[in-house]
Structure formats: structure tokens, C-alpha cells
Chain A
Amino acid sequence: MTKKILIVDDEPNIVISLEFLMKKEGFDVAVASDGEEALAKVASFEPDLVLLDVMMPKKSGFEVCEALRADPARAGLLVVMLTAKGRETEVAKGLAIGADAYVTKPFSTKDLVTRVKGMLGV
């Protein structure tokens, strides 16, 4: 069964690349452009992994992650935070509120794919 990935980012310029990349790698992909849409899409699309940007309008990535982790039904959902905030304090916060991985922009797409595949056991 194909694994499903939800890409959450308000910047179309990164979404386009990630969407293309993940589709090429054989994943089923959906896109959300802000925090609220992300929560709705998680409910409807039921992804296995979320690529979550931190700085977004309406709800930040941190808030979305906390909301997802508050729902025991979604315990198995993997969250990878993508962020332009590279300070150690923010990395620590991301991991502390339940992100499975924290990737700082700019990142190597190859590494990201390897990482995602590893997490999903593909």
C-alpha cells in the first residue's frame, strides 16, 4: 500500500518541489497551506507522515504538532518539522512537543527523502 504524505507549508515555492519529489518517490501526496487546513487535511486524507513548516499564518507548525499529539488516535502519525528557524532552542522545542524529526532549511532533498523513507520503513 502506498504511504500517504501531507505537505504543510505556506510557501508555494517549496511546496512545488516537495510535492514533485514525493510523488516521484512513489508517495501519495496532499498539500495544505496553513495550520487550520493542515488539521482538516489530516482528518480527511489520513496521512502516514506530515512534512510541517513552522512559520505559517493562522496556526504555527508548533501549534499544529501539539494539536496532533493531543489526539491519541493519531499516535502513529509521523511529524517532520521543516523550518527556517535554525536555533538550537527551537529544535529542542520541536522535538519536545512531539515532532519525530526536525529539518532546518535549506536542506538536501536527497537526505530528506532518505529520512522520510527510513521513518516510514519503505
Chain B
Amino acid sequence: MKAKHRFIIAVIVLGLLMTGPFVVTSALVWLDMREAERNMLTELLLSRLPVGTLMTLFGFVIGVLVLHKLFKHYVEGLLRMAETLRLMLGANRNFRVTPEGPPEVQQLAQAANDLAQQRDALMDDVDSQIARAKASVEEEKNRLAALMSELAQAVVVCNLDGRILLYNNRARLQFKALAQGPTSVAGGALIGLGRSIFSILEKSQIEHAREVIDQRLAGGKLPISTFTTTTRGGQLLRIQMVPVLAASVDNAARALTGYVLTVENITRSIEEEERRDRALHTLSQGSRSAIGNIRAAVANLIDYPDMEPELRERFLRVIDDEVAKRSLVIDQTMSQFSDSLKTRWPLEDILGIDIIAAAQRRIDDKLKLPTKTEEVDASLWIKADSFSLVFALVCLASKLQDHYEPRELRFRLTTNGKLAYLDLIWAGPAMSSETFYTWEMESMQVGSDTTPLTLRDVIDRHGGEIWYEREKAAHRAFFRFVLPVSTPEAEQVVEERHVTGRPEYYDFDLFKFEDKSIDLDRKLSDLTYTVFDTETTGLEPSNGDEIIQVGAARIVNGRLLRQETFDQLVDPEIPLKPEGIPIHGITEDMVRGQPNIDLVLPAFHEFCEDTVLIAHNAAFDMRFLQLKEERTGIRFTQPVLDTLLLSAVVHPNQESHKLDVILERLGITIGTRHNALEDALATGEVFLKLVKLLEDQGIVTVRQALEASEKTYFARVKY
């Protein structure tokens, strides 16, 4: 019932209460009276009726006024308060009830305001706790990513679909080294966030490893699975898989949400092992026959001492011959397999100059003794256990300081065939070989740092040697460390793209990623994109102009990944136009010897797999790609978004939608331009800004973006 109706009823009740008792009493008295009494009463009353009615009316009006006042304060006032309370509950948290009306209502309003205050404090507290928790999660994520990126092992984390959520720099280098083909795809065409691991590793093997893990989990065993696989290039990889389990209270039923793969290229160590086997075989099995021959000949010589001299001579020659052959085999084996037969202490490949630098720093730090370098072969890699080697150098320096107080020490690094000579030189009196022998055999110590290792142990660990030698003419002496030279794997000299900020090697949101081919009704912000740009010999694709550079980067989960890029010069197989050179900065020298479009396009196609393409003025670039369709058989069938058109959708009244102008309009600053990769990255930045602006216009999905693009004026320009 509405408040208004209730007011009317209340007024009626008031009217009844004021007149009812009088009328009923009058009726009862009237019935009890006789004729004469009635006439007398009528006469009495009728003459005074106006006064009574007036008084009653007056009382009634006052009653209604009081009623109205009460109603206004207690009913309508409370209703208003209820409305404001609802407002506080929903739309505006900070709204407060104004205390008004009678004191009881004011108290109620005050109490409601106090409650709201308390609620706000609690909500603020919860919000700040959530923010703190989020920040700490973010920090943990970053710490994990930083840690992973520095790990020496190649690590890749995948979700159950085999999509890569995280990988580290080592993994990138590892897979880059495996990548086949002529194109130098920075970051490796194969590895990338959101990409499928199955393009690198055999799907069946991964699935099998997962089954093994499931079984081991079910059996309560350590869930780990190891397998070895060969890559397309014939390299051997040992892969270890451990599961990523969903966090859950119930330990028994923790679901698998992904897995961590550590990848180790064992091609080299397997080859080394094979070589060692072969050496062992040559030395053992190979000796059987030779020794058999010698043994038989010797036995004959002993058993038949009276044989003819001529025969005797022949047996001796057999022995001589076999022994000579065996000696040769042993020499050959030793030189051929010397690397494999060396000590099995794990040595790393390290630049000799790095060892020297480390030793210099520590000598300066611990001993305050100045050091210099003389002739140093800066490109010389050695196989060493750098910690113990540096320790040995510092320890020798410390001993020299104690005994001979040299003013300074010098380092020298030279090679002699497969050996590296690392010399520690000082000027001073001759030392006896006994002293050096004692130094060699003592446990090493530098200040308070000690190790049970002796200098000899360190030398043996390296399969090396050490000696003391004097340069008489120069009045100085040196310790010479002889160490094995190494030829490190090529992957260690991979150049790094200089990127500001933290590398984007991870994206944990991909745990929720659902593997679907491109769905046009998905949100723009959810899709994976390839932004690309081409540099060309000219502006007329149908008139023989050719692509000379392709640059591209990926956008995954709303982030432009500057590490996962494609940057390739292309030999156009036609002369460059001189007028174009100042624009793109690419010269004849740069493109000659580069792969041609037949080789680059398949690699680029692979790079774009399962993504929406984005380019600025995409029609131009797509035209070039389409003209190659017939020749290469490569078709780009995915949806294409054009930042030029999208910009026209967002800002229809702007005159120019050139990339430079848009960059300025959207407040994006970019270093160099007119290099395909830089332009692609700029386009990517533009796209990410446009996505937000498009959302404001209600354009959320790819389909909507494509439809809006088509309607713009610029879409009518054809190439």
C-alpha cells in the first residue's frame, strides 16, 4: 500500500474517531428518551449546532495537520532516507544521509552513516589488501621471470595445449641454434609466447611423457619424466618434464595445468662419449690381435730355441713389426681422442680474458696488489673450472706477495696449437724449484678463504700443467698454466637485440588460453597478432616492384613482444631504385646475398601462423604478398587489420592518417623509422592504443573492427 493511501485512511479514521463517539452516544440517548424530552433536546441542540460543528471541524483540521506533520517526518522522511541508503549501497559509496527531521529520525540517520563509515573502512582495507596481494603476486612473477631468464638451463613452461607460457633466454638461444633455414629470425621462428611447443618437439613424445607423469602422480611417485628426441636438424635433445599442478588443498587430486620442460642439447656430449668409446675400443679390442701375434711368436722363440736363424729372424721381425704398429696406434689414439680421455670434471667454455679479468679484480680486492696485462689473446676460449682456476691464480699471487713483495703482477695469454698458455709474471729474485713444489702441493689459501684443493689438484682437474720459468734477460719470472683450448658452440656468440626494459619471456595468463583457430567474435584485446611492415623497391607492386625487407613483431595478450621479432632483408633480384635508398636506407650491398622472397616468405608465413595480421596501410603490403602467391604457393589467409583504417574509424574528422601523424596524435614516441621492424613495432604500439579507443565506440570484436574499417572512406582506395 502506498504511503499516500495510508495517509487518506488515517485521515478518515481521525474523522471517525472525532465524530463517532458523539453520534453513537447521541443515538443511544435519543432512543431512551420520551417524545417531550426529544423535542426539547432538538430545540436545544439545533440552536447550538453551528458552534458544535465548527468546533468539531476545527478539531478535525488540527488533527489532520498534526497527522500530516507526523506523516511527513516519520513516513516520508524515512522513505527518503531509505532511498539515500540505497544510493550509498550501490552507485555512490561516499554519499551520506543528511540528518533532518525529528531527533529519533536524526539518530537513525546518524547510526546509518556510522555503519556506512565502518563499511567503507572495511572495504578500503579489503581493497588495499587485495592490491597488496596483487602487487606481491606481480613481484613474485617478475622475480620468477628474472630468475628464469638468467638460468643456464633452457626452460620452457607450457599449458596443457602445448602453448608456451614462459621461456628463458637460454631456451631462445638453444632453439634459435636449432632453427633451420636461411632466414635469421631474431628470437627463433619456433619459440614464442602462445606458440605451440609441438612445432619444436614431437607431439607424441610430449604426450607420452605426460602420461608417464600422470601415472607417476597416481602412483605417488616423484612426477618427472625424461626423454631424448631428435630435432629436424638431427640434433639430440634431452628433455625433462615436471608438471605444474593446480594449487589445491586436497593434495591427492591436484590437477595438471601445464608442465615445465628443461631442454639440454646433448648432441655434443653424446658425440664425445662415442669418441671415448671408440678410443677405448681401439686401445683394448684393437690390441688383442697384435698381442696375440706377438705372444705366439714369443712362445715359439722360447719353446723352440734351436730353430734355424732365418726362422728366428722372421719371428723377431713379427714382434718388432707388431710393437711398432701398436705404438703408432697408441700415439694416434691419444692425439685424436685426447679431448675425450681427459679428466671428467665438468669444465665450461670460457674466454681466457674473462678468467684474467676475474683474477685481476680479486687480486686488487684481496691483496691490493696492482696488476697489468701484456700480450693477451682476447678471442681465446679455454676449457676451465673458472672458480678453482681464479682461486689458484689469486693464491699464487698472495704467496708471491708474501715471499717476494713484487710491485706488480702481469698476465699474459697465448696459444700453442691446442694448448693455451696463461702466464702470471713478476719481477724479482729466482725461486727454488723446491719452493714451487711445496706451493704446488699445499692446500690453497687466500686470506681467510681456504680450500682443501691444492694447486696440483686444480691443474689435474683441467688436464693441464704448470711450471715455473725465468726470463733471465728481463730479470723476471712467470708461472705458466697450460690449459686446453676449447672451440665453443656457436650459440654463445649470439648478439642480443638491445631492448629497454625487462624482456617479455613470460605470460602466465596463457594458462587460461584456449586453443581455437581465429574466431572473429573474440575480443580484440584477447587475440594474438603479428604486426608487420615491408620495405619495397617502389610503390607499384603490379609494376615489378619487389619486397626488400620484412619486419614483424607479435602481440600476445595485449603486449607487444619486442623479443619475438622477425627481421629479414630480402634480395629483390632486381636493381634498387636510387630514389628509394634515402627512404629505407637499404643499399645494394645489403640485399645481395640475402635469401630471396621464395625463401623468406615461408619463414614469415610460419612466424604468422594462427595470428591476425596487422599493418599500417595493410592493403599495400598485402598486395605485395598476394602477387607472390602463385610463385611461392604461400597464402596468407588470416584476417588482416589496418591501423590506417582503424585510425580513421576512431578519428573520422582528422585529415591525415599517416603513421607519423598518428604516432604524434596518440602520443607515442619512437626511435628510428623507415626500417621495416621499427615501423612494425610502431604500428603495434598504435594498434594497442587504438584498441582502447575502439572499445569506447563499442567496437570490441575483430568482426566489428573489420566491418567498421570497411565503412571508412579510406577503405575505398585500391592498389
What is A's interface to B at a CB cutoff of 8 Å? Answer: 11, 13-14, 16-18, 20-21, 24, 55, 82, 84-86, 104-110
* Least distance between A97 CB and chain B CB atoms (Å): 21
Are B300 and A104 in contact, with the CB atoms below 8 A? Answer: no
Contact status of A17 and B285, CB under 8 A, knowing A105-B291, A105-B292, A106-B292: no
Question: What 0/1 readout, one digit per residue, does chain B (268-296) give for beta carbons within 8 Å of chain A?
Answer: 00000000000000000110110111111
Contact residues of B between 277 and 329, Cβ < 8 Å to A: 285-286, 288-289, 291-297, 299-300, 303-304, 307, 311, 314-315, 318, 321-322
Are B288 and A105 in contact, with the CB atoms below 8 A? Answer: yes
Q: How many Å lie between the Cα of A10 and that of B436 in the bound state? A: 55
- Top 5 A-B pairs ranked by shortest CB distance? A105-B292, A17-B296, A106-B292, A84-B289, A84-B288
* Least distance between A116 CB and chain B CB atoms (Å): 13
Contacts of B314 in A (CB 8 A): 16
Are B285 and A84 in contact, with the CB atoms below 8 A? Answer: yes
Are B292 and A84 in contact, with the CB atoms below 8 A? Answer: yes
Are B299 and A110 in contact, with the CB atoms below 8 A? Answer: yes
Contacts of A11 in B (CB 8 A): 289, 293
Q: How many Å lie between the Cα of A56 and that of B295 in the bound state? A: 20
* Least distance between A80 CB and chain B CB atoms (Å): 14
Are B304 and A17 in contact, with the CB atoms below 8 A? Answer: no
Are A21 and B292 in contact, with the CB atoms below 8 A? Answer: no
Q: Closest B residue to A86 by CB, please name it.
A: B288
Are B288 and A106 in contact, with the CB atoms below 8 A? Answer: yes
Are A106 and B318 in contact, with the CB atoms below 8 A? Answer: no
Q: Closest A residue to B302 by CB, please name it.
A: A109
Contacts of A107 in B (CB 8 A): 292, 295-296
Q: How many Å lie between the Cα of A107 and that of B307 in the bound state? A: 22
* Least distance between A110 CB and chain B CB atoms (Å): 7
Contact status of A109 and B311, CB under 8 A, knowing A17-B300, A84-B289, A86-B285: no
Contacts of A86 in B (CB 8 A): 285, 288
Q: Which one of B286, B288, B297, B307 contacts A13 once the chains associate, using CB atoms below 8 Å?
A: B297
Are A14 and B299 in contact, with the CB atoms below 8 A? Answer: no
Q: How many Å lie between the Cα of A86 and that of B289 in the bound state? A: 10
Are A109 and B296 in contact, with the CB atoms below 8 A? Answer: yes
Contacts of B311 in A (CB 8 A): 20
Contact status of A106 and B294, CB under 8 A, knowing A13-B321, A24-B304: yes
Besides A21-B299, A86-B288, A108-B299, 17 other A-B contacts (C-beta < 8 A): A13-B293, A14-B292, A16-B318, A17-B315, A17-B318, A18-B296, A20-B300, A20-B304, A85-B285, A105-B292, A106-B288, A106-B291, A106-B292, A106-B295, A106-B296, A109-B295, A110-B303
Q: How many Å lie between the Cα of A13 and that of B322 in the bound state? A: 8
* Least distance between A10 CB and chain B CB atoms (Å): 10
Contacts of A110 in B (CB 8 A): 299, 303
Chain B interfacial residues counted at CB < 8 A: 22
Are B293 and A104 in contact, with the CB atoms below 8 A? Answer: no
Main secondary structure of the interface of B (DSSP, over half): helix
* Least distance between B464 CB and chain A CB atoms (Å): 35
Q: Closest B residue to A85 by CB, please name it.
A: B285
Q: Closest B residue to A53 by CB, please name it.
A: B289
The tally of CB-CB contacts under 8 A between chains A and B is 69
Q: Which one of A24, A105, A109 contacts B289 once the chains associate, using CB atoms below 8 Å?
A: A105
* Least distance between B309 CB and chain A CB atoms (Å): 14
Contacts of B286 in A (CB 8 A): 84
What is B's interface to A at a CB cutoff of 8 Å? Answer: 285-286, 288-289, 291-297, 299-300, 303-304, 307, 311, 314-315, 318, 321-322
Q: Closest B residue to A17 by CB, please name it.
A: B296
Are B288 and A104 in contact, with the CB atoms below 8 A? Answer: yes
Are A109 and B303 in contact, with the CB atoms below 8 A? Answer: yes
* Least distance between B680 CB and chain A CB atoms (Å): 61
Q: Closest A residue to B292 by CB, please name it.
A: A105
Q: How many Å lie between the Cα of A105 and that of B311 in the bound state? A: 23
Are B296 and A21 in contact, with the CB atoms below 8 A? Answer: yes
Greatest chain B CB density within 10 A among A16, A17, A55, A110 is at: A17
* Least distance between B503 CB and chain A CB atoms (Å): 53
Contact status of A108 and B295, CB under 8 A, knowing A16-B315, A17-B315, A20-B311: yes
Sample of 15 A–B contacts (CB below 8 Å): A13-B321, A14-B296, A17-B300, A21-B300, A24-B304, A84-B289, A84-B292, A104-B288, A106-B288, A106-B292, A107-B295, A108-B299, A109-B300, A110-B299, A110-B303
Q: Closest A residue to B322 by CB, please name it.
A: A13
Contacts of A20 in B (CB 8 A): 300, 304, 307, 311, 315
* Least distance between B177 CB and chain A CB atoms (Å): 38
Q: How many Å lie between the Cα of A24 and that of B307 in the bound state? A: 10
Q: How many Å lie between the Cα of A106 and that of B321 in the bound state? A: 16
Contacts of A104 in B (CB 8 A): 288
Q: How many Å lie between the Cα of A85 and that of B318 in the bound state? A: 21
Contacts of B300 in A (CB 8 A): 17, 20-21, 109
* Least distance between B321 CB and chain A CB atoms (Å): 6
* Least distance between B55 CB and chain A CB atoms (Å): 134
* Least distance between B306 CB and chain A CB atoms (Å): 11
Greatest chain A CB density within 10 A among B289, B303, B315 is at: B289
Contacts of A82 in B (CB 8 A): 292
* Least distance between B670 CB and chain A CB atoms (Å): 69
Q: Closest B residue to A111 by CB, please name it.
A: B299
Contacts of A55 in B (CB 8 A): 289
* Least distance between A35 CB and chain B CB atoms (Å): 17
Q: Closest A residue to B295 by CB, please name it.
A: A106
Q: How many Å lie between the Cα of A87 and that of B296 in the bound state? A: 21
Contacts of B293 in A (CB 8 A): 11, 13-14, 17, 105-106
Contacts of B303 in A (CB 8 A): 109-110
Contact status of A17 and B289, CB under 8 A, knowing A24-B304, A109-B303: no
* Least distance between A56 CB and chain B CB atoms (Å): 12
Contacts of B304 in A (CB 8 A): 20, 24
Contacts of B295 in A (CB 8 A): 106-109
Q: How many Å lie between the Cα of A85 and that of B293 in the bound state? A: 14
Q: How many Å lie between the Cα of A11 and that of B300 in the bound state? A: 17
Q: Closest A residue to B319 by CB, please name it.
A: A13
Q: How many Å lie between the Cα of A104 and that of B292 in the bound state? A: 9
Are A109 and B299 in contact, with the CB atoms below 8 A? Answer: yes
* Least distance between B71 CB and chain A CB atoms (Å): 110
Contacts of A16 in B (CB 8 A): 297, 314-315, 318
Greatest chain A CB density within 10 A among B295, B311, B321 is at: B295
Contacts of B321 in A (CB 8 A): 13
Contacts of B322 in A (CB 8 A): 13
Q: How many Å lie between the Cα of A105 and that of B297 in the bound state? A: 13
* Least distance between A71 CB and chain B CB atoms (Å): 29
Q: Closest A residue to B296 by CB, please name it.
A: A17
Contact status of A17 and B291, CB under 8 A, knowing A24-B304, A84-B285, A109-B303: no
Q: How many Å lie between the Cα of A82 and that of B294 in the bound state? A: 15
Are A17 and B288 in contact, with the CB atoms below 8 A? Answer: no
Q: How many Å lie between the Cα of A25 and that of B582 in the bound state? A: 96
